[in-house]
Amino acid sequence: MGQVRVASFSVSLDGFSAALGQDIDNPIGVGGLKLFDWAFATRTFQKMHGTGAGETGIDDDFAAAGFANVGAWILGRNMFGPVRGPWPDESWKGWWGEEPPYRTPVFVLTHFPRDPIAMKGGTTFHFVTGGIEAALDRAKAAAGDRDVRIGGGVATIRQYLRAGLIDRLHLAQTPVLLGQGEALFAGLDLPALGYRQTGYAPSGTVAHVILERG
């Protein structure tokens, strides 16, 4: 059986994984992109979205591992896009253009039903209105013996953590100061939820931390 996991998810020094003020120009909030500077520099990211060669090394190893053996993704509504409330039309198809990097079924948590969207490259967005457990059931069925990756955002990961449904997290502990934002851990007692730190690999730009449950 595959694992349910989070990967390449950054945390600021002051505990935030997204800035405030998300909109179409600021998918991770105003100033939030700098949380992911380490990832943008990697060969893995540049091959997907960039124009440069990208760097190899520890950061790239972790970025690549986040995509390996993933059979389905789960995203929160806000990670899928800036649209709030009922879908006004079918025009919004995610932040990632015609060919998103997922290349698997992607289950988007939402309160508002919408038909699936098949994109180029193997990604299909499915919209799940039945809550986090229903989405996970569908993702596991789609993934088979591969992993389910919970892509984010913060509120989605917090819901799955609180429910004890995530097996493994790879976090990138960054020295970025945001000041305000969406706190990843505030009010969550991770050891009480069964998580312990099992890995640590600093790269020079961030420190990669592995948490596992049980």
Among 7, 178, 182, 213, binds its own copies (CB under 8 A): 178
> Does position 185 bind its own copies by CB under 8 A?
yes
Query: Between β-strands 182-183 and 117-118, what pairing exists: parallel, antiparallel or unpaired?
Result: unpaired
> Does position 160 bind its own copies by CB under 8 A?
no
Distance between CA atoms of residues 214 and 201, nearest Å: 21
Residue nearer to its own copies on the CB measure, 109 or 176: 176
Among 108, 189, 212, 213, binds its own copies (CB under 8 A): 189
- Compute the least distance from the CB of residue 136 to its own copies, in Å: 24
Q: State the burial class of residue 30 (Cβ atoms within 10 Å of its Cβ: 0-12, 13-18, 19+).
A: middle
Q: Say what the alpha-carbon torsion angle 181, 61, 136, 116 is, to the nearest 10 degrees.
A: 90
- Token reading at 5: 């996991």
Q: Look at the block and give the residue holding tokens 């997290």.
A: 169
Residue nearer to its own copies on the CB measure, 72 or 176: 176
Residue 12's contacts (CB-CB under 8 Å, 6 or more residues apart) are 35, 174, 176, 177, 178, 181
Residue 173's contacts (CB-CB under 8 Å, 6 or more residues apart) are 11, 206, 207, 208, 209
> Does position 33 bind its own copies by CB under 8 A?
no
Among 6, 18, 161, 171, binds its own copies (CB under 8 A): 171
Among 1, 24, 141, 186, binds its own copies (CB under 8 A): 186
Residue 114's contacts (CB-CB under 8 Å, 6 or more residues apart) are 87, 90, 127
Query: Between β-strands 147-152 and 124-128, what pairing exists: parallel, antiparallel or unpaired?
Result: unpaired
Query: Between β-strands 16-18 and 182-183, what pairing exists: parallel, antiparallel or unpaired?
Result: antiparallel
> Does position 190 bind its own copies by CB under 8 A?
yes
Among 85, 88, 175, 214, binds its own copies (CB under 8 A): 175
Among 52, 86, 122, 179, binds its own copies (CB under 8 A): 179
How many residues of this chain interact with its own copies, rule: CB under 8 A?
31
Among 25, 89, 192, 214, binds its own copies (CB under 8 A): 192
> Does position 214 bind its own copies by CB under 8 A?
no
> Does position 176 bind its own copies by CB under 8 A?
yes
- Give contact residues for its own copies (rule: CB under 8 A): 11, 13-15, 171, 173, 175-180, 183, 185-186, 188-192, 195-197, 200, 202-205, 207, 209, 211
